[in-house]
């Protein structure tokens, strides 16, 4: 549809995601900053392109919004609904689901295969959501690769130091011997959310900092000679920021592929970055301390590496990708119900305006 104007021609995007729920937002933000970057980048890009972006963590008003939109094809044709795999389950049993499902996009950080166990992603597909309606930050064989925007940093002078990737202490535990050996090669930094890190980290030569602002974190990574993962968090955007700063990343390879709930499996902590290879990315086996130490020695003595951003993740590439995906509406066709009703037999009035807050306020309880 076209941007601007009134009535049904105004392009709208509604986000209803776990982190928007007031009861879960704080917990989610602490543990899932990667998902937040993925989602917030899309919302910002849509606003910049002239879309009206609504965000809500209140299920009742979102249901009212969708039911009212389903009753007006001219509005529905210019509206996209963005869920994650968890929040989408709230709407499968609603009578308006068949009308809106083609307008749904699932923002899925890890991805969901087209076949597999009946996890949340598979259940969404069973309800008519096609695999390409799942948008992911990294490519896989089933879903739609959206990515997120990055800018290459100007070359930064490197200090003789390394950064341990693990914002929670549990990610570093079990690797004490390796970290002690790395501490003999250069100063080390780690950023963790626990207020009282164990003494062994300091004794290993690790400077432990509390959680930092993104700009501070990116500066620390940019001025360091390497960045090493310890298996978790999987697929974190920090790696891509690391490459955009010209800081080599040491990617742990798993002896046995690691699976997530959707059925996706990963052979390393960050397979997408892994594909770029040396001198940007080096594969390591964490249980082979000799190998890891030798790799770090090579990286510490190597010449500087140029900052790197994949073309699809440059600001221009990302903008073009968003525009392309928002134009793809050929997933299916549906018949729009004249008066959609909730499963509890309450009807939703058709509001004149399509402000999200007004939708819930205008809801009618008459059958």
* Residue 129 in domain: yes
Q: Are residues 291 and 345 in the same domain?
A: no
Q: How many domains does the chain have?
A: 2
- On whether both 200 and 122 belong to a single domain, the answer is no
Tell me the CATH number at 249: 3.40.50.2000
Q: Is residue 69 part of a domain?
A: yes
Same-domain check for residues 38 and 78: yes
34 and 102 fall within a common domain: yes
In CATH, what number is assigned to the domain containing residue 97? 3.40.50
Same domain as 291, residue 215: yes
Same domain, 63 and 168: no
Give me the sign of the Cα torsion angle 26, 27, 28, 33.
positive
Lowest-confidence segment of 31-45, 64-78, 231-245, 334-348 by average pLDDT: 334-348
Do 185 and 136 lie in one domain? The reply is no
How far apart, in whole angstroms, are the C-alpha atoms of residue 262 and residue 118?
Answer: 8
End-to-end CA distance of the chain: 33
The answer to the question of residue 366 being in a domain is no
Task: Give yes or no: residues 163 and 200 share one domain.
Answer: yes
Dihedral pair phi/psi, residue 109, rounded to 5°: -65, -45
Of 128 and 360, more confident? 128
List the beta bridge partners of residue 107. Answer: 135
Containing domain of residue 95, as a range? 7-148+316-361
Residue ending a domain, among 270, 287, 308, is 308
Report if residue 103 sits inside a domain.
yes
Q: Are 4 and 12 within 8 A, CB to CB?
A: no
pTM value is 0.84
Residues 31-47: tens digit of each pLDDT: 567 888 999 999 999 99
Are 168 and 139 part of one and the same domain? no
Q: 138: which 2 tokens? A: 């990294």
pLDDT in tens, 309-329: 999 999 999 999 999 999 876
């Amino acid at each position: 549809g076209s941007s601007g104007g009134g009535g049904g021609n105004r392009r709208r995007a509604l986000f209803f995601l776990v982190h928007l729920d007031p009861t879960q937002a704080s917990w989610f933000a602490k543990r899932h900053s990667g998902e937040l970057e993925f989602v917030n980048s899309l919302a910002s890009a849509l606003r910049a392109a002239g879309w009206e972006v609504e965000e809500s963590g209140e299920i009742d008003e979102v249901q009212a919004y969708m039911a009212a939109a389903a009753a007006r094809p001219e509005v529905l044709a210019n509206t996209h609904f963005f869920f994650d795999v968890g929040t989408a389950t709230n709407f499968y049993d609603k009578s308006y689901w068949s009308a809106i499902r083609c307008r749904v996009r699932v923002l899925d950080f890890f991805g969901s295969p087209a076949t597999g166990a009946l996890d949340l992603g598979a259940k969404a597909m069973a309800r008519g959501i096609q695999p390409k309606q799942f948008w992911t930050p990294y490519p896989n064989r089933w879903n739609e690769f959206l990515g997120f925007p990055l800018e290459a940093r100007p070359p930064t002078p490197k200090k003789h130091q390394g950064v341990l990737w693990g914002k929670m202490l549990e990610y570093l535990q079990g690797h004490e011997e390796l970290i002690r050996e790395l501490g003999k090669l250069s100063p080390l930094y780690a950023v963790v959310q626990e207020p009282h890190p164990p003494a062994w980290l300091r004794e290993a030569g690790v400077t432990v900092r509390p959680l930092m602002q993104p700009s501070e974190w990116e500066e620390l990574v940019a001025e360091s000679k390497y960045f090493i993962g310890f298996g978790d968090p999987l697929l974190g955007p920090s790696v891509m920021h690391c490459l955009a700063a010209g800081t080599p990343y040491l990617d742990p390879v798993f002896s046995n592929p690691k699976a997530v709930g959707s059925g996706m499996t990963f052979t390393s902590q960050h397979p997408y970055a892994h594909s770029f290879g040396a001198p940007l990315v080096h594969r390591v086996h964490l249980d082979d301390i000799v190998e890891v130490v030798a790799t770090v020695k090579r990286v510490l003595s190597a010449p500087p590496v140029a900052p790197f951003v994949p073309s699809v993740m440059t600001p221009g590439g990302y903008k073009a990708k968003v525009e392309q995906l928002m134009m793809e509406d050929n997933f299916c066709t549906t018949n729009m119900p004249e008066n959609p009703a909730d499963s509890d037999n309450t009807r939703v009035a058709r509001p004149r305006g399509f402000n999200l807050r007004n939708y819930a306020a205008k809801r009618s309880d008459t059958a």
